[in-house]
Amino acid sequence: MNSAETLAITYGLGSGFAWGAGDFSGGLAARETGVFSVILYSQVIGGLLLLGIHLALGGGTPGGVYLLWGGLAGACGALGLAALYRGLAVGRMGMVAPVSAVVTAVGPVIFAFFTEGMPRTTQLAGFAGAVFSVWLFSSTRTRGGITATELGLATVSGVCFSLFFIFIDRASSQAVLAPLVAARAASIALMAAILAARRELAPPARGPLPRVALAGVMDAVGNTFFALASRSGRLDVAVILVSAVYPVATVVLARFILLERLRPRQRFGLLTTAVSLALIAA
């Protein structure tokens, strides 16, 4: 494995952990206030962070087409977050997050096969293992399996996130932070329009505000790491790493903070996830 692949894997793992923590925080906040409100104000906080870093580093602005890709990514990402946060708020985090992850991975993996060729055999084995791990997390063979609402919201979020990954991969080929700022501007505009139509533009209450802020910061960090990962290596590797890691982070946080119980299949899923990540990194 060369240094670029090692760097891409490191960025991918960092993105997964950041997004997992952000989704957990955002899901908690969505239980206390409106989903769209959580997304809008978390996106504003994260957007200001990205803009500040971009200006501090003196980064240039890529061509308009790359900003357009970033804007499309932001719109898809915002809709994906809306579905995911709603699912995390009304359903079980240990069910919604893994199913969203496996749906998220499908589109970019197929896209990468056509644009970047086949990955290594060990990576293909790791991809299969990651999908199996998510199935273990969300299997319905026991009482308390995933509900129709949880499945529907997780699927919608996964499709939107698939498009986000593909679009941000296109946008970050020339620059990293500027397309992410464009993505954040698009997501903020979309959420603001939705909230204005619903007459719900008031900021969240003070109680969930720290969780909203943490969700915004972690989402911005996750976006940056993912853009760096897909720019340094293959899109499918970056997506599978993120998809395998972020639900684990969400589920583990839910286990220790919310005391959600893990079934034996889910415990085994943690093990198979670790093996899958090792195969992808081999």
Return the higher-pLDDT residue of 69 and 269.
69
pLDDT number for residue 145: 64
pLDDT number for residue 62: 65
- Region 226-254: mean pLDDT is 81
Average pLDDT, the chain: 82
pLDDT number for residue 218: 93
Task: Give helix 35-57 / helix 177-198 axis angle, nearest 10°.
Answer: 150
Whether residue 274 is predicted with pLDDT greater than 80 in this model: the reply is no
Whether residue 140 is predicted with pLDDT greater than 60 in this model: the reply is no
pLDDT number for residue 72: 92
Highest-scoring range by mean pLDDT, 60-64, 141-145, 268-272: 268-272
Q: Which pTM does this prediction carry?
A: 0.79
- Region 133-138: mean pLDDT is 68
Q: Could you tell me the residue range of the domain that residue 271 belongs to?
A: 3-281
pLDDT number for residue 137: 62
- Region 180-185: mean pLDDT is 89
Q: State the total domains in the chain.
A: 1
pLDDT number for residue 139: 54
Count of helix runs (H) and strand runs (E) in the chain: 10, 0
Listed residue (126, 125, 102) closest to 276, CA to CA: 126
7-42 exposure pattern, b = at least 16 Cβ within 10 A, e = fewer? ebbbbbbbbbbbbbbbbbbbbbbbeebbbbbbbbbb
Q: What is the pLDDT of residues 141-169, one digit of tens each?
A: 445 567 788 888 989 998 999 999 899 88
What share of the chain has pLDDT > 90, as a percent?
A: 10
With beta carbons less than 8 A apart as the criterion, state whether 215 and 38 touch: yes
pLDDT number for residue 142: 47
Q: How far is CA 40 from CA 153, 196, 226, in A?
A: 19, 11, 21
pLDDT number for residue 177: 83
